A = this chain, B = another copy of it.
Amino acid sequence: MQDDTTAPQGDTPPPSERARVRRAGERGHYDAATIHAIVDDAWLCHVAFACPDVLCLPTVCWRVNDTLYIHGSNGSRMMKHLGSGAPTCVTITHLDGLVMARSAFSHSMNYRSVVIHGAFEVVPEADKPAVLHGLMAHIAPGREHDARAPDQNELKATTVLGISLKEAAAKIRNWGPKDNDADMGLPVWAGVLPLVQQRLPPQPDVGMGFPLPDYLSGWMSSTP
């Protein structure tokens, strides 16, 4: 990721100075459609906070409207700390390829990322069932009508937190190598080694007595 430059951004301006993409600004995007698409492709985010040591922890995430949600046990240090309104930064990254340039210096990666700034808010008890419904639907659409819904004790034991996607930046690189002119004649193979998150055949639990439900039959062919 060495080919950093500063260039004009897209049509939507950064929502704040801290959300502005600093390196390789031409890769920055601030419109909701771009941000939502990258978020919706992810099941996992990395959450950074200081408690007081800086921590960076992965957790499952899902979007409803313009909010990104995470959840966990009430007893979790992360849930307790973030639920108190502590400052956070939440990042989602998809690695789409390794970019092989003729010079080592110009090697790069193709990726789509979203960096979210702000703080989480606790989802009220009354809203938890609907928001957690969204998690099941994000894992696999249809799952929310099949899996046993959480009972009152399970709901009470779970903290659900949401963070606005308003103060966020997407960053995308999705093109081939960019070598210096002086390197273009070198006898070095250049191109992209693409990567994709592949879905493999569902593995039934031991002793599962019935077939894959309809809503999972398209698992391997559907996109996230």
Question: Would you call B188 and A146 a contact (CB within 8 A)?
Answer: yes
| Closest 7 A/B residue pairs (Cβ) | A48-B48, A198-B198, A48-B56, A194-B200, A46-B46, A58-B93, A103-B148
In the complex, per-residue mask of A135-157: 1 if CB is within 8 Å of any chain B CB, else 0: 11001100110111111001000
A59 to B195, CA, bound (A): 16
Contacts of A102 in B (CB 8 A): 147-148
A13 to B165, CA, bound (A): 39
A16 to B1, CA, bound (A): 33
Known pairs A23-B73, A105-B158, A189-B212 / 8 extra A-B pairs, C-beta < 8 Å: A2-B158, A43-B95, A50-B54, A107-B136, A147-B188, A190-B205, A194-B199, A196-B198
Question: Would you call A22 and B212 a contact (CB within 8 A)?
Answer: no
Q: A60-81: which have CB < 8 Å to B?
A: 60, 72-73, 76-77
In the complex, per-residue mask of A110-139: 1 if CB is within 8 Å of any chain B CB, else 0: 010101010000000000000010011001
- Of listed A1, A97, A201, residue having the most chain B CB within 10 A: A1
The distance from the CB of A184 to the nearest CB of chain B, in whole angstroms, is 9
CB-CB under 8 A for A191 and B205, given A46-B91, A54-B87 = yes
The distance from the CB of A143 to the nearest CB of chain B, in whole angstroms, is 7
